[in-house]
Amino acid sequence: MEGLIFRQLFDYDTWTYTYLLADAETREAVLIDTVREQAPRDLQLLEELGLKLKYVLDTHVHADHVTGAEEIRKATGARTGVGAAAEVACADLALKEGDEVPFGRFRLKVLATPGHTNGCLSYFLGDRVFTGDALFVRGTGRTDFQQGSPERLYDSIQKLFALPPETRVYPGHDYRGMTVSTVGEEKRFNPRAGGGRGKEEFVTILKSLKLAMPKKIHMAVPANLQCGRKAGDEMPLASKQLRAEAAK
């Protein structure tokens, strides 16, 4: 996409992709799905590229890692955003279907894609979509915790499958070294959701999975409901003021 700075970053401990998008002209930037331990890396990259971070967005309340949203917000003054249905009180933006997140000449369109969790979002921008834990490359998110629902996830994936087939799919995780796919590929080859599978078959597949709980779930979920803040951290004054204004 002309004029878009794009980086796909990876955390090897949790198999998490973080995405940096920026307008090459205005230098305004967005980060999607940060990892707290990788915040220094992300901040260094922003500085090296001469970017001004506007937003730190999460696709959902993660169970396998702690978001870097709060550390990056404190360092840059960027606003944080997560799905309204996730009920994360400390986030600056409670995002919902149809919202847009502007940076420079670009606007990320918010798609509600629940199923893995109630508050899952995907972010769509022109020729690419950032699907979090809804749709992976040749896989999908799981639905056996955090109010997961295979029925809702199926409907969300059908929404993603309705995007143009050439749309690039950038997932929240990958465990096999796959970095990107397309909507058309996943509609054909995804072993859980592709090949024209109906909802009943998809639900049966998801309910038959026998997966271990994420190692960090008992620490990550409570921390992410607090924007990734460490014990003793205070919400920045600017964020308190933004939330107070929004409540009026």
Burial of 234 (0-12, 13-18, 19+ CB in 10 A): exposed
Neighbours of 236 (CB within 10 A): 16
For residue 183, give Cα distances in angstroms to 79, 119, 130, 194, 205: 30, 22, 11, 10, 20
Domains of the chain, CATH where assigned: 4-238 (3.60.15.10)
Percentage of the chain modeled with pLDDT above 90: 89
CA distance 22 to 93: 19
Taking only the tens place, the pLDDT of each residue in 2-29 is: 999 999 999 999 999 999 999 999 999 9
Radius of gyration of the chain from Cα atoms?
Answer: 17
Asked if residues 194 and 182 have their Cβ atoms less than 8 Å apart, the reply is no
Residues in the chain: 248
pLDDT at 239: 42
In the chain, how long is the greatest CA-to-CA distance? 50
Tokens standing for residue 93 = 């933006």
Taking only the tens place, the pLDDT of each residue in 208-227 is: 999 999 988 999 999 999 99
Q: What is the pTM of this model?
A: 0.91
Percentage of the chain modeled with pLDDT above 70: 93
Q: Which residues contact 52 (CB under 8 A, 6 or more apart)?
A: 27, 28, 29, 76
